[in-house]
Structure 1
């Protein structure tokens, strides 16, 4: 029987013989990969900005995975910190013990907020961090005197993504990612419009008018569900995976915080993807003129050297717990894991000591300039947006109307796959559902914080050539 060619997820072609790609690949790996229909590329080594594959190719990691590898790969200081911590203690149960790694990381993180936040709580993933934030918000109202047990509702935003666990997915507005599990998700989350100037602002509307309209929408949603029943409003300051690096317009978060304060609700800011230096300040809220009540952090926290994420809690919330039960009714086996904390601590020290957030701003300005010079006029590039070293490119089928491509074409994934070809050798992070959770395509470019001007020039050139060549090939 001759080989048969099939394609999947918008681009990569795989050859199989017996007509069943899953059966052809499953026996090659005991891992349940993201798809049973193919085996992913195998990384044999990584150093700096490059991933080296078993097929002999080298890939410029222009996205740090999912905006994770903020120092690149193979940092010697972080490796040494991991080994040193293993020589002290690799694991101990946080109910009974603490470690200098956990204590020092917490002190480092709180110092980075200039004391605006009071405590940190470390877990192993962004989804777990959002779960903790949800539970912390609920418990806050049970710690008040008098208690407010009626506070059970949350308001989040459309076209958002906050995690993959049932609680964090319930908070998310990404339609496609919710679809399979919709019957299992809690029903006490409602949504308002995202702050997306490219698709949300009306013709002739100023940014100030847009903010007023969105604040009015949030206020009306509080009124609809009952303002005395709302725990918190949840939002990403720069929407990463769901919308493709869409920042809030100036004045948006102060206006949203004012609505929350009006009704006594908390503001939870999800900075898992956009924070810890990625957007040009250590925390994105430091650019927004607000201090969240609870903040989730992740990805750039540990730079991929260990699985770690967490929440930062401000004084208002911590003081309520202190006056009440004195404990957070939530615990995990690996919270405050010593090795993960040691890795994150060294990553954060390197960022601070090397003034790398300053470099993020400088190199981010070059990245923005280069991408817009090369691609802003491309007929299939609808919008280029972002902050710092966190940039998204949205693709459109028709530029004047902003009409997206048919999702069946898998445009974003196909652009990524083209970048992986040997004559380009660049990883560009794909995303879909950009418009409404089903339609729309974008890619992210979010390199390491220590990139140089020559690195940025190379990233711009390769990314632009991939996009130009891809769309020329399908036209």
Structure 2
């Protein structure tokens, strides 16, 4: 007879057993053993935007659940109202919203909508999607095909679509401008190179994260990058999709991170912070021209997911968005986020193991290296980013370990400090103090 393990959940990591969460409030989480953690990871997956246990959201959830949680044959007032208020939150001229259950679904939807737009516009040859290396767009096969994170792709490569990828705007490890001695925006020009290689008549969209998340935490593009990319997309009639699943909804100190760079995209994808983890929710916000092409064409976008736009999740999203705006949490994320980045740099920026500290707002990324001069990454087997995350957790602070592979696809360790927007400066101080201890401990451990 087979002996069953303690857990019968098919977890992502079957080697390291995660603690069992008991409860959470504000910016703290407790496990079932009574240990309290300061959450500087926004729930581990950078989801929690407004903090845990916000009563307004809990009340909205309970009220809507008592009315109706799901009914696929109808729209609902929460869905309609959230679309109106989310469009108002978005850049001007982006007035239409399609809801999903999360970020992967949102990117999958955006990819299909880009194709559908060109079919409706009488350009059915345009179907290819261009992504970037060092990117992550989700685990569904279309979103993973657009993803440029080698370690997430490798096991599924035979199943993926042949999407092309351009160079990332990775200033710390840029090779394109190395001989020039200054940034020439060659990474942006590489988008044009890929479009021309694929044939502009075949390319429907370019998808990119304004500030990179899991694949290279906190990677911020150089000044002028998105402006040039916007020009290239316009030149070849290619839609610009910005993946704001992680960086959007106020995390970087702007409503959407792309606003830092002065361009308006054609599609914005949302997830994570849109519902702050209270209920699964994602969205695609479309430029008016895309909606008009479909409305004036077939009048149909035959694509969707069972729980997309369900009344319960939309009521939660509406309560979260109103809470963000009522308490001016976008500005707070920017202000406290600036303090967070400056304190991280002051505490560990000169450590021999720290190569780069980068990010915007409450989205900070730290790259650790074996040699600061050569930028040589640690061997993958050492799992340095995960060791630092575990050392922080042992000291009562949760950070995001992220994934390895940012340097060459397999090696390269970055991790994130990405707190909820309600973090106080005292919370930052504690997080940074623990982080400094953890980095020193791991450095001593690996020699």
Could you say which TM-score interval applies, normalised by the shorter chain?
over 0.9
Distance between the aligned counterparts of 2:20 and 2:75, measured in 1?
37
State whether residues 27 and 422 of structure 2, in contact with CA within 8 Å, keep that contact through their aligned partners in structure 1: no
Q: How does 1:394-405 map to 2 (within 5 A)?
A: 394-405=367-378
1:185 to 160, 180, 187: 160
Correspondence 1:158 to 2:137 = no
1:365 Cα offset (Å): 1.1
Q: How many angstroms does 1:190 deviate by?
A: 0.4
Give the whole-Å Cα distance in 1 for the aligned partners of 2:260 and 2:63.
Answer: 36
Question: Runs of 4 or more off by more than 6 Å in structure 1?
Answer: none
Residue of structure 2 in register with 1:10 after alignment: none
- Give the structure 1 partner of residue 182 of structure 2: 206
Contact 1:295 1:313 in 2 (8 A): yes
Secondary structure at the residue paired with 1:233? strand
Check if 1:91 corresponds to 2:70. Answer: yes
1:206 shift after superposition: 2.6
Paired position in structure 1 for 2:298: 325
Within 2, Cα distance between the matches of 1:116 and 1:381?
A: 42
Alignment of 1:7-406 (within 5 A): 27-64=5-42, 65-93=44-72, 96-144=73-121, 147-187=122-162, 189-200=163-174, 201-202=177-178, 205-207=181-183, 209=184, 211=185, 213-406=186-379
* Contact 2:169-2:188 at 8 Å conserved across structures: no
Q: Which residue number in structure 1 is paired with residue 443 of structure 2?
A: 471
Unaligned runs of 5+ in 1: 1-22
SS at match of 2:312: helix
User: Quick check: 2:188–2:226 contact (8 Å CA) kept in 1?
Assistant: no
Instruction: Tell me if structure 1 keeps the 8 A contact 2:252–2:333.
Output: yes
Counterpart of 2:388 in structure 1 is 415
TM-score, normalising length: structure 1: 0.91
Cα deviation per residue 1:138-180 (whole Å; 9 max; x = unaligned)?
A: 0000001xx1111121111011110001111011011111111
Between the aligned partners of 1:42 and 1:395, the Cα distance in structure 2 is 29
Deviation, 1:38, is: 4.2
> Aligned equivalents of 2:115 and 2:310: distance in 1?
25
Q: Which residue of 411, 418, 424 corresponds with 1:439?
A: 411
* Kept in 1: contact 2:384–2:442 (CA 8 A): no
Q: How many Å apart are 1:37 and its aligned residue?
A: 3.0
Q: CA deviation at 1:472?
A: 2.1
What secondary structure is seen at the aligned counterpart in 2 of 1:286? helix
Instruction: Please give the per-residue CA displacement for 1:60-83, whole angstroms capped at 9, x wherever unaligned.
Output: 110112111111211111111100
Q: Distance in 2 between matches of 1:260 and 1:402?
A: 33
The CA distance in 1 between the partners of 2:439 and 2:187, in whole Å, is 34
In 2, Cα distance between equivalents of 1:116 and 1:349 = 21
Q: Secondary structure at the match of 2:346?
A: helix
Q: 1:40 to 1:233 in 2, by over 3 A?
A: same
* Inter-partner Cα distance in structure 2 for 1:351 and 1:45: 22
Q: Do the aligned residues in 2 keep the contact of 1:125 with 1:307 (CA within 8 Å)?
A: yes
> How far 1:56 moved relative to its partner?
2.5
Cα RMSD, aligned residues only: 1.3
